[in-house]
Structure 1
Amino acid sequence: MKVQIQKAFSYQQLIDMMYIAKDGSISKRRVKILSITGDSFQAYCFLRHKKRTFKMDNVLSVMPVIHRERHII
């Protein structure tokens, strides 16, 4: 996961991730990574609308968000 997170940070790409919290609950989050330090990273969480700190070990999956424009013909 660490490589995908670092890649998303270097390209300033939004990601959807599955994250497991301290209490064991699993949530899907859309985040923009702001900084990486050691085994954690800070990101803006669109679910909570706040800057949050996440542990890399608690990230279960990562998927880049791809925006495609739709044209009306």
Structure 2
Amino acid sequence: MKEQLLKAMQRNQLVDLMYISRSGEVSKRRVKIIKMTADLFQAYCFVKYAKRTFIIDNVLAVVPVIQREREVI
């Protein structure tokens, strides 16, 4: 999981996360990772419109957001 998060941060890519909070609540978040440490990462959350700190071990799934360009014909 940590490797996927690190790659997304290096590529400046948005990711969708499935995250479980300390209280056990599961949520889906779209984030842009700003900084990573050994067991935490800081990211801008587009759901809460704020900078948040996440625990890497509480991330259940990571999916990169692929943005397609639309062609004008």
For the aligned pair, the TM-score class normalised by the smaller chain equals over 0.9
Extract unaligned runs of 5+ from structure 2: none
Matched to 1:16, the amino acid is D
Q: If the length of structure 2 is used for normalisation, what is the TM-score?
A: 0.96
Moved over 6 A (4+): none
Aligned-pair RMSD on alpha carbons? 0.8
Match of 1:32 in 2: 32
Q: Does the residue aligned with 2:5 lie in a helix, a strand or coil?
A: helix
Match of 2:49 in 1: 49
Q: Does the residue aligned with 1:12 lie in a helix, a strand or coil?
A: coil
Q: Does the residue aligned with 2:18 lie in a helix, a strand or coil?
A: strand
Q: Sequence identity of aligned pairs in percent? A: 59
Q: Could you give the per-residue CA deviations for residues 2-43 of structure 1, whole angstroms, max 9, x where no partner exists? A: 000000011110000100001101000000000001100000
1:69, distance to aligned residue in structure 2 (A): 1.2
